[in-house]
Amino acid sequence: MATIHLIEGPVGAGKSTYAEQLSVRLRAPWLNLDEWMVTLFRPDRPDVDFMPWYIERKARCIEQIWLVTCNLMDVRSDVILELGLVQLSDRAAFYSKVDGTDYALQIHVLDVPRETRRNRVRARNAQQGATFQMEVSDEIFELADGAWQAPDAIERSERRIQIISSN
């Protein structure tokens, strides 16, 4: 049975690297929200007060990614999703979409210590390698890190969640 693989975790946890490797291993397409946002909207991003702007566009991209996901699942292709659903409510909204189908869902949550993630983000900013989409300043790191809500006991009991820990 084809499966939706949802990759989640805090900023700098290695989600893109993990998703790319899983995509190769499963021979499945990988849909990355950050790539969509950068391609479609980066030139229009305001310099200040960008969160309302971002949230609206993120929601639109997730809706379109969901449509593509449904098309892939309907032809029995696994799909890897990296959507940045950092809050429990965001994931719950996504789960309700999946629950309305007969699609299988596997959640992969990356768990990496905060300082390791901060160092990774700084290195990624400097190197601008394969997984670089946009610079993440220390201020944005703090904002994103503070927004992350790890799966709670209820979410872990109700969903197929694999925790991937590393240093």
The CATH number for 141's domain is 3.40.50.300
Q: Give pLDDT tens digits for 63-105.
A: 999 999 999 999 999 999 999 999 999 999 999 999 999 999 9
Residue 44: pLDDT band with limits 50, 70, 90: confident
Which residue would you say has higher pLDDT here, 123 or 75?
A: 75
Q: Is the pLDDT of residue 131 over 80?
A: no
Q: Which whole number is the average pLDDT over 30-55?
A: 82
For Cα atoms 107, 162, 135, give the angle at the middle one, nearest 5 degrees. 65
Q: Which whole number is the average pLDDT over 50-62?
A: 85
Residue 46: pLDDT band with limits 50, 70, 90: low
Enclosing domain of residue 77: 3-165
Euclidean distance between CA atoms 16 and 27, whole angstroms: 16
* Number of compact structural domains in the chain: 1
- On average, the pLDDT of the chain sits at 91
Q: Is residue 130 classed exposed, middle or buried when 0-12, 13-18 and 19+ CB atoms within 10 A define those classes? A: exposed
Token code pair at residue 166: 């590393």
With contact defined as beta carbons under 8 Å apart, do 132 and 31 qualify?
A: no
Q: Which whole number is the average pLDDT over 96-121?
A: 95
Can you give the pTM of this predicted structure? 0.88
